[in-house]
Amino acid sequence: MAPDLGRNMVEQVMIGGVEVTRATLRSPSLTPLGCPLQERLHLVADGAVTDFNELEKVEIGMVEMSAEDKLEVQDKAGAADQTTAPLAEKLNKVARVVAVMSGKGGVGKSLVASLLAVALRREGQEVGVLDADITGPSIPKMFGITGHPAASPLGILPMDSSGGVKVMSINLLLPSEDDAVIWRGPLISGAIRQFWQEVVWGDLSTLVVDLPPGTSDASLTVMQSMPLSGVVLVTSPQDLAGMVVRKAAKMAEHLDIPILGLVENMSYFVAPDTGQRYDIFGPSHAKATAAQLGVPLLGQLPLDRQIAELSDRGQIEDYPGEAFVPIAQSLIETTPVAKEPPALEH
pLDDT digits (tens, 9 = 90+) for 181-231: 888 888 899 999 999 999 999 999 999 999 988 777 888 899 988 999 999
pTM: 0.75
Superfamily of domain 89-334: P-loop containing nucleotide triphosphate hydrolases (3.40.50.300)
Give the pLDDT confidence score for residue 226 in this predicted structure. 92
| Number of alpha carbons in the 13 Å side-chain half-sphere of residue 345 | 6
Contact between 342 and 253 under an 8 Å Cβ cutoff? The reply is no
* Average pLDDT of the chain, as a whole number: 82
Which of 327, 219, 249, 238 minimizes the C-alpha distance to 285?
Answer: 238
Secondary structure in 3-state letters for 12-59: CCCEEEECCCEEEEECCCCCCCCCCCHHHHHHHHHHHHCCCCCCCCCE
Q: In the structure, what pLDDT confidence band is assigned to residue 62 with cuts at 50, 70 and 90?
A: confident
pLDDT tens-digit readout, 70-120: 666 556 555 544 445 677 888 899 999 999 998 778 889 999 999 999 999
Domain ranges, ordered by start, for the chain: 15-84, 89-334
With beta carbons less than 8 A apart as the criterion, state whether 286 and 296 touch.
no
Residue 36: pLDDT over 60: no
Q: Is 83 exposed, middle or buried (0-12, 13-18, 19+ CB in 10 A)?
A: exposed
Across 29-33, 204-208, 289-293, the highest mean pLDDT is recorded for: 204-208
| CA–centroid distance for 144 within its chain | 16
For range 5-34, the mean pLDDT: 56
CB 195 within 8 A of CB 168: yes
